[in-house]
Amino acid sequence: MPTSLSPQDALIYAMVTMSAVDRNMKDVELARIGDLVSRMPVFEGFDDNKLVQLAQECGEVVSREDGLSDVLELISSSVPERLTETAYAFAVEIAAADRSVKVEELRFLDLLRDNLKLDKLTTAAIERGARARHTTA
């Protein structure tokens, strides 16, 4: 298990864990991760070829005993304070990608919020923004 991650890697771990937490990594979620990595400024200079390897590493950590706690610790210790809202927003984007947020995903968001020390008002605003972006006509 890695003992630390780069901030970019930690953001990817947050998204991959969100996708995997319900034990069903959907193609739409994986595509959204790839989309965010390829176009968001925080990932400038990131080697896209590393994405699959990071997703596999994250999956291995999550599948271990206490793996979810370990991943949350890795994320929270690797994401600088200026990117905590970004990490949460990216996780919300993955949860919303299939337009169906499951109980496991909500629980992971609660844990992520607490580990990143984000307040409920901030996270509610991030969630509301995602809801607005993913609402259909």
Which among 116, 121, 119, 54 has a CA at the least distance from the CA of 91?
116
The residue behind tokens 């984000």 is 118
Specify if 1 maps to a domain: no
Share of the chain above pLDDT 90, in %: 74
**Number of structural domains, the chain?**
1
Residue 49, domain CATH: 1.10.3680.10
Specify if 53 maps to a domain: yes
What is the residue-averaged pLDDT of the chain?
93
Specify if 25 maps to a domain: yes
Cα dihedral across residues 91, 94, 44, 52: positive or negative: positive
Which among 28, 9, 36, 8 has a CA at the least distance from the CA of 95?
28
Predicted TM-score of the model (pTM): 0.94
Higher pLDDT, 26 or 112: 112
Task: Please give the average per-residue pLDDT across 9-37, as a whole number.
Answer: 92
pLDDT digits (tens, 9 = 90+) for 40-95: 999 999 998 999 999 999 989 988 999 999 999 999 999 999 999 999 999 999 99
Domain that holds residue 61: 7-134
Specify if 26 maps to a domain: yes
pLDDT on residue 41: 97
- Give yes or no for residue 122 having a pLDDT over 80: yes
Specify if 71 maps to a domain: yes
Specify if 2 maps to a domain: no
Asked whether the beta carbons of 17 and 86 are under 8 A apart, the reply is no
